[in-house]
Amino acid sequence: EIVLTQSPGTLSLSPGERATLSCRASQSVSSSYLAWYQQKPGQAPRLLIYAASTRATGIPDRFRGSGSGTDFTLTISRLEPEDFAVYYCQPYGSSRAFGQGTKVEIK
């Protein structure tokens, strides 16, 4: 099973700043089958990105996914107040284990 390591565990930033979240896999993720999800307190997760870099329907373009193989990145270009949340990465090929999450909190 692929093990995902997300870093940092917590990112403390101010609105308007750029957020860079990392997701590293223990083995290569086939065909870039990698998704990112956002979860706010008390809510279910929401799909942000699939196929490593394709934004889901309705996701603003300040969210950008990139990477391939074992290294993936989610970048939020300018943080809006509603972006402070926990973000999870997940491969969806042979393994479906989620990363442990990165919390983006207000500094």
Partner 1 sequence: EVQLVESGGGLVQPGGSLRLSCAASGFTFSSYAMSWVRQTPGKGLEWFSGISGGGSGTYYADSVKGRFTISRANSENTLYLQMDSLRAEDTAIYYCVKGSRGSYPYYFDSWGQGTLVTVSP
Residues at the contact surface with partner 1, assessed by CB under 8 A: 30-31, 33, 35, 37, 39, 44-47, 50, 56, 88, 90, 92-93, 96-101
Number of Cβ within 10 Å of residue 104's Cβ equals: 22
Which tokens hold the place of 50? 């699939």
Distance of closest approach, residue 92 Cβ to partner 1, in angstroms:
5
Q: Which is nearer to partner 1, 62 or 103 (CB)?
A: 103
Which of helix, strand or coil describes residue 33? coil
- Could you tell me the smallest distance in angstroms from the CB atom of residue 29 to partner 1? 10
Rounded to whole angstroms, the Cα distance separating 80 from 6 reads 22
